[in-house]
Amino acid sequence: PSVMDLAGICSSFQSDLDFCPDCGSVLPLPGVQDAVSCTRCGFSINVRDFEGKVVKTSVVFNKLGTAMPLSMEEGPEFQGPVVDRRCSRCGHEGMAYHTRQMRSADEGQTVFYTCTNCK
């Protein structure tokens, strides 16, 4: 029996060679070492158990020009809710707003107001 078969007897997860049978994390790809170790819990499996396993990767690029540019009216700053706030430039009542996390997560979000009249 392989190490994975033995691990399946007392493991928390039913898995294949891509996942750690102890914690369920994705196992790294085999390298030059004799064993593959889980970076989360330290579970180790002999690299010979990966013999015959094929790993295939592919990168697919979008065709040039398939991305549609956003017009000014489609940006996130013009799609937000509208609040009763007077524009300092034109005096129009009603501004759209959106928020963005500009700094670390422990600080509040920054609110951006955009006049629906001036844009």
pLDDT tens-digit series, residues 20-70: 888 888 888 888 889 999 999 999 999 998 888 887 778 888 787 766 555
Binding-site residue set for Zn(2+):
20, 23, 38, 41, 87, 90, 115, 118
Rounded mean pLDDT, 6-16: 57
Half-sphere exposure of 35 (CA within 13 A, CB side): 11
**What whole-number distance in Å separates Cα of residue 66 and Cα of residue 117?**
31
For residue 14, the model assigns a pLDDT of: 64
Say if residues 89 and 115 touch (Cβ distance below 8 Å).
yes
Q: What is the pTM of this model?
A: 0.40
pLDDT reported for residue 7: 47
Architecture of the domain defined by 72-115: Single Sheet (2.20)
Per residue in 64-79, pLDDT (tens digit) is: 776 655 554 555 555 6
Whether 78 contacts 97, CB under 8 Å: no
Cα 21 to Cα 16: distance, rounded to the nearest angstrom: 8
Residues of the chain with CATH 2.20.25.10: 72-115
